[in-house]
């Protein structure tokens, strides 16, 4: 592929973008049948799948656009630093990568997630009060609580939190709220908060 692209693309940055872009798209296209089978056959068989063909296709297209914008920008900067700084490129790119990861952790729920799912603030009531009471009890820095339309894709229930420092946001799947008691919901959150308290990797409920 490099030998085919290099004669027609003299610019190193554009060449790198084209090379990895083609590689990523071809690789993803080859795995689409397996993704389709997993969603529309296996998940459907056990009653979990709620994804429509339209949602599946839109998710793929949005993923391509995000990959092109974010991945393309990072790759362009990396190639530029390699060509400009030589062996010392990794220092500056490391700082950039760390800043990008920090940014994503801070704004994932407010900027990226809404592109795929609808987030609605949890209304006042017993559930919200129970979550806030638990958060205060364990000193979890809670800022907002949202409900996500997880039923748009799956019947599985889950919850997670995002954010850094004292700006934590809790996201509850609507399937979790619809299928579990208040006590069970708080228990699920306790599991997620446990990851935060013990600095362990995030699990799926």
pLDDT digits (tens, 9 = 90+) for 132-173: 999 999 988 888 899 999 999 999 988 888 887 777 889 999
Query: CA 112, CA 171: separation in Å to the nearest integer?
Result: 14
Rounded Cα distance between 198 and 175, Å, is 27
Quote the pTM value: 0.81
Q: Which domains does the chain have, with CATH numbers?
A: 2-107 (no CATH), 119-198 (3.30.2010.10)
* 39-95 per-position pLDDT tens digit: 999 999 999 999 999 999 999 999 999 999 999 999 999 999 999 998 999 999 999
Distance CA 140, CA 192 (A): 11
Q: Give percent above pLDDT 70 in the chain.
A: 97
Active site residue 192: yes
The mean pLDDT value of the chain amounts to: 90
Task: State the catalytic residue, choosing from 43, 126, 183, 192.
Answer: 192
Structure tokens at 12: 């190193």
Q: What is the pLDDT of residue 204?
A: 43
Mean pLDDT confidence for 9-21: 93
Secondary structure (3-state) at 154: strand
Question: Within its chain, how far is the Cα of 25 from the centroid?
Answer: 19
pLDDT of residue 200: 63
Q: Which of 172, 175, 180 is nearest to 131 (CA)?
A: 172
């Amino acid at each position: 592929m490099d030998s085919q692209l290099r004669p027609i693309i003299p610019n190193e940055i554009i060449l790198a973008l084209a090379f990895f872009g083609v590689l990523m798209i071809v690789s993803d296209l080859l795995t689409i049948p397996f993704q389709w089978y997993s969603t529309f056959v296996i998940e459907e068989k056990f009653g979990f799948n709620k994804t429509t063909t339209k949602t599946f296709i839109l998710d793929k297209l949005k993923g391509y656009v995000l990959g092109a914008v974010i991945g393309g920008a990072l790759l362009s900067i990396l190639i530029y630093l390699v060509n400009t700084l030589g062996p010392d490129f990794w220092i500056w790119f490391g700082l950039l990568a760390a800043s990008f990861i920090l940014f994503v952790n801070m704004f994932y729920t407010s900027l990226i997630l809404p592109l795929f799912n609808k987030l609605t603030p949890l209304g006042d009531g017993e559930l919200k009060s129970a979550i806030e009471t638990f958060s205060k009890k364990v000193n979890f820095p809670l800022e907002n609580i949202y409900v996500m339309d997880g039923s748009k894709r799956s019947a599985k229930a889950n919850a997670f939190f995002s954010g850094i420092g004292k700006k934590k946001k809790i996201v509850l799947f609507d399937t979790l709220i619809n299928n579990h008691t208040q006590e069970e919901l708080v228990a699920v959150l306790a599991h997620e908060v446990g990851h935060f308290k013990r600095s362990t990797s995030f699990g799926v409920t």
